[in-house]
Structure 1
Amino acid sequence: ALALAQAAAVLQARADHANALQARLIAVRRLLLLGRLDEATSSLAGLDTSGVPPSLVAVAELAAAEVALRSLRTAAARVALGRAFDAAERARVPALLAEVDEARAALDRCAARRIHAGHEQPLRVDEVEALLVSGALVVDACRHGLRAGDRWLPLARRPVLFALLRALAERWPADVDRNVLIARVFRIHHPDETHRARLRVEIGRLRALVAPLVDIEASTHGFALAPRDGRAVAVLMPPIDGDQASLLALLADGAAWSTSALALALGASQRTVQRELVELEAAGQVRSVGRARAQRWLAPPLVGFTTILLLPAALPLE
């Protein structure tokens, strides 16, 4: 990042505005890959595309569209893609036109799945945006947290509590049997009193954590969510199943990634990422080239849906 900034400054000082802009756009792309959307937005706002080749204008507008999409501002993304298309046409670069077409197509693909009252529904990006601003109580399995309007409760570091909350939300407004919760969350299929006691403890922790947004009521056989203010409850699921969905989303761009770069982008340890890559390789979903420090990982494109919600910081977390 520092090297790119220094290169851009040197190029700008020598009045090479086009290559200076190119260096800054590469830096923006790096920020996007790392999920640092605020920094990417700030960097884009400071770019001056006047007088540069239309191909660079198209690249800048594509970056602006990705920032808008990753922030779930669909209307702004469509406007930026319109400007990118105009610039790509002026540049007469087929690869840029294809990239704009692919970004536009992503807007109409399935980005997530909504589970409501036991029924599953595919959602486009604009429908996800509408759901999050609807005021509904959304248990977000893409980012692992609970959202209600502007309020966000992260639970990524509380996997047991999130699993309980998700199980309750998927069955809302019905209750969930205690033994079903124990089997799903603790993976114990023949529970005894110690397991039921542990469930009561974890439900107590979850109840205290989500108290500002939703109550958890005990029933004859189990527990049920009771949202405040009459809110509806929905579960937002990734478009694909599996714990490695975010990893596959990063690899879906067709680029060759090192384990360390993937770990940095995902905010995970290299050991965790390496273990997941080995599992995906065994399943035939990724492949590696090279060895040791030169080893890189690739995956075929994911088709039929967009991975925008699986990328780092795809949803607004503040």
Structure 2
Amino acid sequence: MDAAVEIPADLGARAARSLAAGDALDALKVAGPFGGPHALALRGIALAQIGAYAEARAALERAARVFAASGAERARARASAALGEIALAQRELGEARRGLVEAGDALERAGDLTNAAWARLGAARAALLDGHVAEAERALAAAEATVTGDAPAFTRAALALARAELHARLVRASSARRAAGQAAACARASGHPQLIAETERFLRAHDEPVARVLRGGREELARLADVEALAAGAAGRVVVDAIRRRVLDGGAARADLSRRPVLFAMLEALARAHPAAVATADLARAAFGVRAVNESHRRRLRVEVGRLRAALGGVGVVKALGNAYRWELGGGVELVLLAPLEPGDAGAICALLADGAAWSAAAIGAALGKSTRTVQRALADLALAGAVEVTGGGPSRRYARPRAALSIASQMLLLGLALPG
């Protein structure tokens, strides 16, 4: 067949249905003999679904140029949305956020509300992965507002599951479960096996431990609902959140030490020992990561203790006791330490990557107060165990949670875009 011939409407619809069902190979087989812009776009999406991103990007860019030249704005916007999805899959998050927002607006202007919703869902996914939770919430709300009551069950399921993921990230356990339940019902109505499996996985994960809680000398595992209850606070309770590196007093955030690793290392050591004191040498080792403590470390420790007192803003008192320090909270105050599931450097790194963003080893080291070499060794072990995903190389190398650990809203590449009318 002449490769310049555009794909017929019935075959284009079949290829689009195959893409929506995740059958990229069938879509390639159907669209392969044709060479017009719609066939190019379909092939680009299919190639993206199987991970051939460079070839997919080239095909979609060519299709978008032809659509733009011919004034086919609706098709051009769909191709642009697909390019945004590829940028998202390759963790080019800034490009993905911009491209998908623009594509969503263009698709809505063209009257393609279903694909406008999918593009905005992609923008929400990119913002969430990039750590911009408020932006993700706005993009998701825009996606939901675009969807009409007769939208496909598949689309409504994906949006509900994205909402569940967002609520989980914000530690809103009951809201996350409610949204996941809605997603499960829509997924079953859609009959899509991958989507059904993903909603079931989310519901199972919702009831699994996400952290450890240490209080009164006891340690217990905590589910998301338990963490939500701790964050909600209670009078007379101070929570040291070692996952987000902050201090809550009665549910109110009183100190954010997420970018002050030395101060948080000291605070965590004091919290673990509470109500006992921590020897000066032990506190210096925790703060500075040294084995042998000298007089220089002791002098620096006194300076850092002063900074910690200021950062705590009156949440107890860090008192010097000769050759030790103790965090005194007053009578009747309960201290709770919320810690990652895995202890040590690996646990700290996994907790940091829980925000979904792709981090460099240097940025992780700066956040944790560790050398880049130490972080790289821990990341190599985590990558071998499949606990982190590595993308890029050299200075652009990034580490993130593996895609299998992300919800449907972060791994289901391009399943919602159907290019032909």
TM-score by length of 2: 0.61
> Is 1:6 matched up with 2:102?
yes
Conservation of the 8 A alpha-carbon contact between 2:161 and 2:180: yes
User: What corresponds to 1:255 in structure 2?
Assistant: none
Q: 1:78 aligns with which of 173, 177, 192?
A: 177
CA distance in 2, matches of 1:72, 1:300: 21
Query: Given the superposition, is the C-alpha separation of residues 214 and 150 from structure 1 closer, same or farther in structure 2, using an over 3 Å criterion?
Result: same
SS, match of residue 262 in structure 1:
coil
> What is the identity, as a one-letter code, of the residue corresponding to 2:275?
P
Shift of 1:193: 4.0
| Aligned-residue offset at 1:285 | 3.3
Query: Secondary structure, in 3 states, of the residue corresponding to 1:224?
Result: strand
1:142 to 227, 243, 253: 243
After TM superposition, the structure 1 stretch with the greater mean CA deviation from structure 2, 269-278 or 242-251, is 269-278
Partner in structure 2 of residue 244 of structure 1: 349
Query: C-alpha deviations, 1:257-276, integer Å up to 9, x for none?
Result: xxxx7238x99389999964
Q: Any stretches of 5+ residues in structure 1 without a counterpart?
A: 252-260, 309-318
Match of 1:120 among 219, 225, 229: 219
Alignment match, 1:111: 210
Aligned equivalents of 2:397 and 2:277: distance in 1? Answer: 49
1:177 aligns to 2:276 (yes or no): no
Task: Determine which of 358, 363, 366 is the counterpart of 1:268.
Answer: 363
For the 8 Å contact 1:216–1:226, the answer to whether it is kept is yes
Match of 2:119 in 1: 23
Residue 287 of structure 2 aligns with an amino acid whose one-letter code is: V
| Equivalent-residue separation in structure 1 for 2:166 and 2:355 (angstroms) | 16
Question: Contact (CA 8 Å) 1:175, 1:223: kept in 2 or not?
Answer: yes
Go from structure 1 to structure 2 and tell me whether the alpha carbon gap of 1:15 and 1:293 turns closer, same or farther (over 3 Å shift).
farther
Is contact 1:118-1:172 (8 Å) kept?
A: no
- Give the SS at the match of 2:213: strand
Name the residue aligned to 1:285. 385
Percent same amino acid among aligned pairs?
33
After superposition, the C-alpha distances for 1:51-71 in whole angstroms (9 at most, x for unaligned) are: 210100001100111111111
Query: Mean Cα displacement is larger for which, 28-37 or 290-299?
Result: 290-299
In structure 2, stretches of 5+ residues that fail to align are 1-96, 408-421
Q: How many angstroms apart in 2 are the aligned matches of 1:97 and 1:279?
A: 35
- Post-superposition offset of 1:26: 1.0
Matched residue SS, 2:262: helix
Q: Give the alignment's Cα RMSD to 1 decimal.
A: 3.5
Q: Answer whether contact 1:249 1:307 (CA < 8 A) is retained.
A: no
- Relative distance call for 1:214 and 1:267 in structure 2 (3 A) is farther
Q: Does 1:54 align with 2:149?
A: no
Distance change (3 Å), C-alpha of 1:83 and 1:110: same
Q: What is the SS of the residue equivalent to 2:219?
A: strand
Paired amino acid for 2:283:
L
d(CA) in 2 for partners of 1:240, 1:100: 26
**Deviation string, structure 1 residues 111-141 (Cα, Å, up to 9, x no partner):** 1111223432211111011112233211111
Q: Which has the higher helix share?
A: 2
Hey, what's the Cα distance between the residues in 2 that align with 1:293 and 1:71? 31
| Contact 1:213-1:228 within 8 A present in 2 as well | no
Answer yes or no: is the 8 Å Cα contact 2:254–2:312 preserved in 1. Answer: no
For 2:418, the equivalent position in structure 1 comes to none
Structure 1 residues 301 and 170: CA distance shift in structure 2, 3 A: farther
Residue type of the partner of 1:285? A
The structure with more radius of gyration: 2
Counterpart-to-counterpart distance in 1, 2:355 and 2:309: 35
1:198 aligns with 2:198: no
Q: Secondary structure at the match of 2:150?
A: coil
C-alpha distance in 1 between matches for 2:299 and 2:397? 47
Number of the residue aligned with 1:39: 135
Q: CA deviation at 1:294?
A: 10
Q: Does the C-alpha gap of structure 1 residues 43 and 167 become closer, same or farther in structure 2, counting only changes over 3 Å? A: same
Moved more, 166-175 or 223-232: 223-232
The match for 1:133 among 214, 221, 232 is 232
Matched, 1:162 2:264: yes
Paired residue secondary structure (2:239)? strand
